[in-house]
Amino acid sequence: MTRNAKRARKARSRAPGRGWTILSGAVAILLGVLIWRELPEAALWVIGTFVGIEFVFNGVTWVMLGLAVRKLPPGPAGATQAPAGRVP
């Protein structure tokens, strides 16, 4: 067995959530085959689906970012905020 194969086996056994990654790859391959078999009829609905998925992921990203920011501790004790409407 080569050195890289041994390293890959070791990394694979420690990787948390590797099942989700494998499932994601399998779904991507399956969807790719389905789209490829239906072209050119699938061209319009595929674009709409991809744009819709992008909107959903962008929305989820912003919600998670907002929740993460709410959990941040307040700024340093001596920090003051600039008055509204003025840029320092």
pTM of the model: 0.44
Rounded to whole angstroms, the Cα distance separating 33 from 73 reads: 47
What's the mean pLDDT in 78-85? 60
Q: What is the model's pLDDT at position 25? A: 79
Rounded to whole angstroms, the Cα distance separating 76 from 57 reads: 33
* 6 assigned to some structural domain: no
Full domain range(s) for residue 27: 19-70
What's the mean pLDDT in 24-28? 80
Rounded to whole angstroms, the Cα distance separating 28 from 32 reads: 6
Q: What is the model's pLDDT at position 42? A: 78
* 45 assigned to some structural domain: yes
* 86 assigned to some structural domain: no
Beta-sheet strands, E only, within the chain: none
Q: What are the tens digits of pLDDT across the range 36-65?
A: 888 788 778 888 888 888 888 888 888 888
Instruction: Tell which wins on pLDDT, 49 or 16.
Output: 49
* 51 assigned to some structural domain: yes
Rounded to whole angstroms, the Cα distance separating 18 from 11 reads: 10
Instruction: Provide the token pair at 41.
Output: 């009829």
Size of the chain in residues:
88
